[in-house]
Structure 1
Amino acid sequence: MHLFRILVILAVMSTAVTSLGQQPCTRGVRVDGLVTDPSGAMVPGATIQASTGAVATSDQTGHYLLPCLSRSFTLQARADGFAPQTLTQTANSQQLHLDIQLSIASVESQVQVSADDNTVALDPGRGPGTVTLDERAVQQLADDPDDLLRQLQMLASQNGGDPSTARITVDGFQNATTLPPKGSIASIRVNPDLFSAEYRWPPYGGGLIEIKTKPGAAAIHGAAFFTGSNGSWNATTAFAPSSTPASKRRYGFELSGPILPGRGDFSAALEKRDIDEFKVVNAQVLASDFKISPFRQTVPTPQRLWVASLRSGWQLGQSDTLTGSFAANVNSLGNQGVSALVLPEAGYSTMATQYELRLANELTHGAGQLHQTRVGLSSRRSQNTPNATTPSLQVAGYFTSGGATSQATDSRRYTLELDHDAMFTKGRNTLKLGTQSLGIVIHNHTPDTFNGAFLFGGGSAPALDPQNATTGQTVTIDGMDQYRRTLLGLPGGNPTTYQQTSGNPEVNFTQWQNALYLEENFQVTQRLTLSGGFRYQFQTSPDSLANFEPRLGIGWSPDKKSTWVIHARAGIFSNFIDADTIADGFRLNGRRQQQVVVYSPGYSAPLNPNSASIAVSTRREFAPALSQTTTFTGYFTVEHTFAHHWLARSAFYWGADWNAIRMRNTNAPIVSTAIGAPADPIAALRAPRPYGGNENILRYESSGHLAGNLVSFSVEQQSYKRFNLRVYYRHANFKANGGDGIVTPQSSYSEQGESARADWLRLNGVSLIGSLILPRRVELATELDAHSGAAYTITTGTDANGDGIVNDRPSYASPGMSGSVYHTRYGLMTADTTNGNVPRNVGTMPPTVHLDMNLSRAFTLNPKDKEHARTITFNLRAANVLNHVNINGVGTVVSSPSLDKPYQAESARRLEAGARFSF
């Protein structure tokens, strides 16, 4: 019914504006023509961009149409493998037929890695952080899928947000996906104008990576490639006790060409990746003599990945094209979850598969109407196999062993996407409207903690003398001392908690995410553009209907030559409630699955009651008025073009979120805040609860908020023949009481210390991307990003307030205070507290620096035959050239000797060499 209503509304809207789109261009000129190569063959997929900002793409017959331009205009045509062509015309009639012939690109032609050309500075399709990479620029990026994804994520996060949350879309489909084969990518646009009503993600939501795949060629073309990396070339990962001989191999082929000349084409790509990397376990355990001993081990994490794609385009009529595509991704990974404090037995292997079938139709009606319809089906499945099935055992701040809590999961996700976009152009006015509908079917088999999980978090315990006899005093012990006492059977030797889940591991449900949008851009004058849009979105499971999102914008150039350009935009955004969050709530609702947490259990039989233990049941529920996260944000930018086309830009963002999803125990024990007394979870559990009983009720609520701003500066140079550069700096300042994923406050009854730096926030960041053509036609491409360290929260490792959530924070201590006081670079802290006063995210990780470089040289094997060129390209790539130790894990438990000390890092320097033969 939702889909039917959407289509009816679209039909009514389309009918209302059809007469507008079919009216002639009375003030300007209608331009059309053919794009051909030197032999006269048609060139499909070429981009023709006008100085007014209008953009067209040549269809499968090479035909392009710009329905309404000013009488004097400049066109720039670009296509993969051809040199850019620029034409300037003045028309004396209302119609002009203008054919464009492209020449074969020379080896020294410029690599495009840029924001759009200054001549289209008022183009509403670009924002202040938009970066466009053509096919040659994509080839200069990393071959390794993880490195390539990281590079694109860092570009996407320049407007703020966590890089890992950047969305990837392919060929206009809104359903996020994985990266397609690199060889099938024609271009990538990072962060288009996200204020357009077409998009639902705010600019600082991690960013958007739009990928366009290659159409079939007019003649048979193909390529075969191989990239390899030997372990002896690569540096050893930090903290490893022995060498980490990482190796990588990537090989495959691409093929494209016509099926029926002028009617149909195809393109195919297949590649295999064999990646042998290592993780380092850097923990502390108890030795056989019950003394703390370092445990370091290098653990292989092999990855075997198949990626395939097939695409076919058909010209159904002069202005009607149909494109179908199929993509497959099969990924096998070993020893996942192992590293840092997680021992090998606590890891698991993963088999992940993804299949996508997509159909897209593009239909042009008359001079000013364009309709695009997309239908997509996808299937994703992830299966985890644990290395062990024994109960999980975590000693806070020291190590995690036993079986992985996830155990043997089988998560399946099926989606149906139905989109329709319609664009109408009349004179200087462009109207775009559309519908977006995504149906998600979830089938999850998740036996999380069915194997049980012990936690040793420390807390209050009897003081012992050297002979292990009690002294009558009470002290605070850490998790390792608690674990040692448990193994030796000493007083105070009980685990903090034991958690176990039982019941039905299956969760099945369907969610629909739907949206209607309208976006209008009006070019008031050659130097003034106004834009406005409106988006409405709604969803099921849970139902959320009242999500209205207006958007406004202006672009203005105060001088006649448009060397200065000012942009300002603002709007409201809403974020669908994620289906995975809903699945967790359904799974642990107390009926499908039952979860029990036993405090101070016996170690040998944790579910058997004893005089010291208390069992608490746990269930989850949704608040009656759960809402989508709502965001208001805006930006103001100033651009200036200097001599020789140097472009400088400054931007200021501001924004706020509210109604973000958090989880709170609404039946937590009502305990008082205390400092100086050893934490005693058992005493907390005896406190009264609002609804009585020994039950934790974890409720999903719309109570999260975020607010802040971001300032950025960038400089670009894209006009030089042998050199291009883009440098970017940002300073961000956002505070939130939520975070990445579902965050729970330390106390269910207090917000003290919850509003702090956003989890993803990196205060300062610098990035650089550029290329240089060296002597003998050697190309050097480089990408640098350097960022301040991310925030982390310091915890006590235990559950002092008895709310069933182990996120308790320490308190600041006074000089001379007795008990468990710890000296940290953030001040004196004590674990003798309940509901501590140290804020969230007070800690800061070390900064990160990534410098990647690629050297390549192309050789033409038949230089006299320019129409059927055969080339072989050799390249040498280095990731993390500086071999900088990029820390991604530090100790966070205040009582642990590893507090604030790095124990985990990203991969060290990696070298790889490759060859690519193209014909």
Structure 2
Amino acid sequence: MDLVKRFSTKANKTAAGGPWFARRAFLSVFIWAFPLLAQDGISLRGKVQGTGGTQLGGAKATLVNEETQAKQETITAEDGSFAFAQVAPGDYLLRVEAKGFEPYRASIQLGTDEPASLKIRLKLQTVEEELIVRPDTSDDRLSPESNTQSMKVDETFFSGLPLAVDYLLPFIETFTYPGARGSEGTSIVVDGIEGGELDMPTSAIRTVKINRNPYSAEFQHPGAGRAEITTKHGHKRRYYGSMAFFARNSVFDARNAFAHATPDLNRRFVEGSLAGPLPGNYGHFFVAGDRLTNDQSTVVNALNTVALTGPVNINVPVPQRRDHLFARAQWSLTEMQTLSLSYTFTDHSSTNNGVGALSLPEQGASAVRHTHRVQLIDSAAFSPQLRNEIILVFKDQTSRSGSQADGPEILVNGVFVGGPSQSFDRKERRAFDVQDTATYIRGRHSFLFGATLGNEWSNVFEAANFGGTFEFSSLDQYRNVVQNQVGSPDLFQVNQGDPRVSYLEQQISGFAQDTLRALPNLSLTLGLRYDWQQTLDSRKNFAPRLAVAFTPGKRRRTVLRGGAGIFYDNLPRSDTEDALLLDGMRVREIDISYPSYPDPFLGGQVTSPPPSITRVATVARSPYLIQASAAVEEEISRGTWLSLDYSFLHGARLFRLVDVNAPVPSALGLRPDPNFSNIAEVQSTAFLRGHALTLTFRGGLGKRFRGYAQYVFSKYTNDVSSSGPGTFLFPADNYDLRPEIGPADFDRRHRLNFAGTVQLPFGLRAGSIFSAASGAPFNVITGSDPFGDTITRPPGVTRNTGRGPANVQFDVRVTKVFSLQRRVGAERSSRRSMELSVDAFNFINHTNVSNIVGVVSSPLFGQADAAGPARTIQLSVKYSF
């Protein structure tokens, strides 16, 4: 245990002043965010009516100051009346929304005199206003969609937050639960289709909803690991759009903690959008696009080089280019039927991928990816109670990474990775999905049911490691072999053969769900889902789901929630392809223990070694998660909620990789099947167990602050490690998996996340994203692996014994909005504005280490070798019309 204490102490000292920084950050994030006192002003009153003059109670009225973006919200009384108090003079946008009616929007100019009462009449809503026509239950406090842990980020909230606008996935994953994600990461739902990619212009995103309905049978994965994206559509009566420019430069940035000089950065991001009516008054369009030019650098911090010239600390350029285009046209075929056609194009390219930390510059590989996606949505209402939606999606994607290696890679564990990169692949994928979903409302029941059929054709060329890799356990071993010609490497691995394969992947799913209002204060949601994947052919994947909500008492400000469900997962695509390629015939993986160097076949020592293969176990079945939770929610003021939630997560039949042909210790190192070296078998025998206690705040404080804060205390235990989505590591002992039981790779016991905006004086708006988490575990290994089938650990050390330091990230944005309105008399003829923003990412310049070296034989053992970006400044300007 002295060994454990030594490397744990080193790791926690890596982030200088960690606890002090954390305390300062925790205090600052709440102190700056308290809203300022509201100024006195006039009152704005009105009354909302429906078609025929009926009074509309329960409608939502919102008043937005167009200069400061300060927002007031209220709900109309039973007679349709509403009032806003203490409204300062200025230009405002008034919005009124009610279920079943078209939203009302009007620009209002207020002076110092009390205005006359407004009379607002709403029109009945047609299905053209929404692509996904479902009953909106987000304002129903008993609905699963209105649970306090759910997070909805709209365009207004987005505009106030400090975000990397070209890629929102890191922000989304901050507020999801790692244990609830599938084997391939966070589940992304785009316009109702699960399994999508967040690969579109940010300006095309209308809303992002996280954990919207935790136990919905409509989706395969739980809400805690799912994000639902709704894209924008046009307007049938007016044109609107925006243009924006974002810039970063290293001249304003702090130096990375592991760099001798500040890494170069020159980052430019341009985006624009336009929407309006189509000719003929029967439809509308929306177009958005962006381009990223990112000339950035990464830090190489290795202890030596292939030529043994000494330590290396240099900044290496890793430029990126990204282009996105999104276009949609939507037509009203009838008053109750719409047709929407959208097209998405992406073009990504990057250079020097794989370089950084211990990976030397020669490891750099280029990559490109092109994607075309077409989606057709037919939404129809056959009656006020029955609505149906059919979605057709076609996707074509081509990618290329790396090139043919002209020599072997040199891996010295915990010291450096050198030589040419062994990455080399070309992939073509074409997918076609059909989804049909229907909603039927009858009495106290709201039924939702549907089915999805997915097909994906893949042509894969995967020539990874065709140049071979020499593996050394320590720097001394490498130096002896290279300089003194003494000894040999631990292992040489190389792939040979024809790395081409084509295959078809099919998936089928169906679901049915009923949300029942059993009593005025009691709601039940019952669902059943079925998923089938061709690769595994596991045919008993029935997943029941249940959610219940109850409001005791007459005031109904407290909501008690509970739920449970089963969620099946799929076999990752990478495992399917490895099993097809590395079968010993199409591609032969050659493993040579203690080879000669630099020619592993020198002197005919190895004539025809048996190959290593990868396969999926014949008894493998679809893994699943069982999730259960109970929560107490309290409305502390109108629209502001506080909740305490306990959740339990159990994963069964999870995937792992086991060498079923590893040398048998009792047989003097002989393998069970002498015709093969390693037989890497993907099995569904791993488990996950987790508990989480979550405290959540959602809403506002006063009239100027809006935010979402969440503290999670959790513990996750499993018996398998992963090196990335869909990839798994061998156990230390393939015949005894008990020492693999330990903390999950994502087991951070404490997590605090916050996102919020606050209105400041002088028309300024500030926004912040704060994230803090205790240290993640890491593996401690010896660095020696002569058979290429294990992660060898010191005696008595189990998996993920080490703990790294805590991470703290505090990002801030300050925005000034200038109203550029034009008027004709007292009427406004256009809505225009200009936004100037300054972002500071990692504002407190905290060192967030990204990797701890766990190799005992490395001089860096127990220390970090890389860190996330230091403080970075971003300037932006946005014009909206």
Shift of 1:847: 1.3
Query: Structure 2: how far apart are the matches of 1:424 and 1:143?
Result: 39
Counterpart residue type for residue 911 of structure 1: I
- Equivalent position SS for 1:753: helix
- Equivalent position SS for 1:522: strand
Change (3 A) 1:734 1:100: closer
Query: Structure 2: how far apart are the matches of 1:570 and 1:426?
Result: 25
Query: Structure 2: how far apart are the matches of 1:714 and 1:96?
Result: 28
1:443 aligns with 2:459: yes
- Give the equivalent residue in structure 2 for 1:832: none
**Are the counterparts in 1 of residues 730 and 790 from structure 2 also a CA contact under 8 Å?**
no
Counterpart residue type for residue 168 of structure 2: L
Which of 889, 894, 898 is matched with 2:860 structurally?
898
1:280-319 maps to which residues of 2 (within 5 A)?
A: 280-285=299-304, 293-319=310-336
- Give the equivalent residue in structure 2 for 1:790: 776
Counterpart residue type for residue 629 of structure 2: Y
- Equivalent position SS for 2:437: strand
Query: Structure 2: how far apart are the matches of 1:270 and 1:217?
Result: 21
Cα deviation, 1:377-397, whole Å, max 9, x if unaligned, reads 112222112496321110111
- Equivalent position SS for 1:798: coil
Shift of 1:261: 5.3
Query: Structure 2: how far apart are the matches of 1:377 and 1:78?
Result: 39
Q: Looking at both structures, which has the greater relative contact order when contacts are Cα pairs under 8 Å and sequence separation is at least 6?
A: 2
1:635 aligns with 2:635: no
Shift of 1:878: 1.4
1:77-92 maps to which residues of 2 (within 5 A)?
A: 86-89=75-78
**Are the counterparts in 2 of residues 352 and 380 from structure 1 also a CA contact under 8 Å?**
yes
Change (3 A) 1:785 1:330: same
Change (3 A) 1:882 1:661: same
Instruction: Give the number of aligned pairs.
Output: 778
**Are the counterparts in 1 of residues 234 and 277 from structure 2 also a CA contact under 8 Å?**
no
Query: Structure 2: how far apart are the matches of 1:342 and 1:451?
Result: 17
1:661-810 maps to which residues of 2 (within 5 A)?
A: 661-671=655-665, 687-693=669-675, 695-718=677-700, 720-740=702-722, 741-799=727-785, 802=787, 804-810=788-794
Shift of 1:694: 5.1
- Give the equivalent residue in structure 2 for 1:849: 808
Cα deviation, 1:517-572, whole Å, max 9, x if unaligned, reads 01100011221101100001111123221101011121000121111101100011
Query: Structure 2: how far apart are the matches of 1:612 and 1:325?
Result: 57
Query: Structure 1: how far apart are the matches of 2:797 and 2:748?
Result: 20
**Are the counterparts in 2 of residues 419 and 435 from structure 1 also a CA contact under 8 Å?**
yes
Which of 842, 851, 857 is matched with 1:889 structurally?
851
**Are the counterparts in 2 of residues 392 and 401 from structure 1 also a CA contact under 8 Å?**
yes
- Equivalent position SS for 1:335: strand
TM-score by length of 2: 0.84
1:401 aligns with 2:418: yes
**Are the counterparts in 2 of residues 771 and 782 from structure 1 also a CA contact under 8 Å?**
yes
Which of 618, 642, 645 is matched with 1:648 structurally?
642
Change (3 A) 1:90 1:738: farther
1:589-600 maps to which residues of 2 (within 5 A)?
A: 589-600=583-594
Which of 564, 575, 578 is matched with 1:584 structurally?
578
Shift of 1:88: 3.7
**Are the counterparts in 1 of residues 411 and 472 from structure 2 also a CA contact under 8 Å?**
yes
Cα deviation, 1:433-481, whole Å, max 9, x if unaligned, reads 0002221222111101111111112xxxxxxxxxxxxxxxxxxxxx211
Cα deviation, 1:108-135, whole Å, max 9, x if unaligned, reads xxxxxxxx99952211224442101111
Counterpart residue type for residue 76 of structure 1: K
1:75 aligns with 2:59: yes
1:362-373 maps to which residues of 2 (within 5 A)?
A: 362-373=379-390
Shift of 1:78: 7.2
Cα deviation, 1:218-264, whole Å, max 9, x if unaligned, reads 21212221111222111122211222131211113211100035411
Query: Structure 2: how far apart are the matches of 1:134 and 1:668?
Result: 53
**Are the counterparts in 2 of residues 320 and 364 from structure 1 also a CA contact under 8 Å?**
yes
Change (3 A) 1:609 1:619: farther
Identity between Structure 1 and Structure 2 (%): 24
- Give the equivalent residue in structure 2 for 1:602: 596
Cα deviation, 1:877-898, whole Å, max 9, x if unaligned, reads 1111111111101211011110
**Are the counterparts in 1 of residues 633 and 643 from structure 2 also a CA contact under 8 Å?**
yes
Instruction: Tell which deviates more after alignment, 308-317 or 384-393.
Output: 384-393
Change (3 A) 1:311 1:97: closer
- Equivalent position SS for 2:740: coil
Shift of 1:744: 2.2
Which of 510, 514, 534 is matched with 1:520 structurally?
514
- Give the equivalent residue in structure 1 for 2:206: 186
- Give the equivalent residue in structure 1 for 2:93: none
1:434 aligns with 2:454: no
- Give the equivalent residue in structure 2 for 1:227: 246
1:130 aligns with 2:150: yes
Query: Structure 1: how far apart are the matches of 2:466 and 2:844?
Result: 45
Change (3 A) 1:668 1:304: same
Cα deviation, 1:725-770, whole Å, max 9, x if unaligned, reads 3221001111111233323221111013101111122111001111
**Are the counterparts in 1 of residues 205 and 229 from structure 2 also a CA contact under 8 Å?**
no
Query: Structure 1: how far apart are the matches of 2:498 and 2:254?
Result: 47
Which of 483, 490, 493 is matched with 2:478 structurally?
483
**Are the counterparts in 1 of residues 657 and 680 from structure 2 also a CA contact under 8 Å?**
yes
Query: Structure 1: how far apart are the matches of 2:446 and 2:697?
Result: 30
Change (3 A) 1:494 1:534: same
**Are the counterparts in 1 of residues 717 and 744 from structure 2 also a CA contact under 8 Å?**
yes
- Give the equivalent residue in structure 2 for 1:573: 567
Which of 99, 102, 105 is matched with 2:105 structurally?
102
Which of 833, 855, 858 is matched with 2:817 structurally?
858
1:316-335 maps to which residues of 2 (within 5 A)?
A: 316-335=333-352
Change (3 A) 1:589 1:393: same
**Are the counterparts in 2 of residues 152 and 209 from structure 1 also a CA contact under 8 Å?**
no
Shift of 1:161: 5.3
Query: Structure 2: how far apart are the matches of 1:298 and 1:141?
Result: 30
Query: Structure 2: how far apart are the matches of 1:533 and 1:728?
Result: 28
- Equivalent position SS for 2:678: strand
**Are the counterparts in 1 of residues 182 and 569 from structure 2 also a CA contact under 8 Å?**
no
Query: Structure 1: how far apart are the matches of 2:293 and 2:200?
Result: 16
Query: Structure 1: how far apart are the matches of 2:257 and 2:349?
Result: 25
Query: Structure 2: how far apart are the matches of 1:623 and 1:216?
Result: 53
- Equivalent position SS for 2:174: helix
Change (3 A) 1:118 1:525: same
Query: Structure 2: how far apart are the matches of 1:778 and 1:796?
Result: 55
Counterpart residue type for residue 905 of structure 1: A
Shift of 1:209: 4.1
**Are the counterparts in 2 of residues 523 and 530 from structure 1 also a CA contact under 8 Å?**
yes
Unaligned runs of 5+ in 1: 1-49, 51-62, 108-115, 458-478, 673-683, 812-836
Change (3 A) 1:179 1:106: farther
**Are the counterparts in 1 of residues 394 and 432 from structure 2 also a CA contact under 8 Å?**
yes
**Are the counterparts in 2 of residues 638 and 649 from structure 1 also a CA contact under 8 Å?**
yes
- Give the equivalent residue in structure 1 for 2:426: 410
1:148-167 maps to which residues of 2 (within 5 A)?
A: 148-157=168-177, 165-167=185-187
- Give the equivalent residue in structure 1 for 2:94: none
Instruction: Tell which deviates more after alignment, 721-730 or 609-618.
Output: 609-618
Cα deviation, 1:396-428, whole Å, max 9, x if unaligned, reads 11000011121x311222211111110000122
Change (3 A) 1:334 1:610: same
1:264 aligns with 2:264: no
Change (3 A) 1:127 1:105: farther
- Equivalent position SS for 2:577: helix
- Equivalent position SS for 1:120: coil
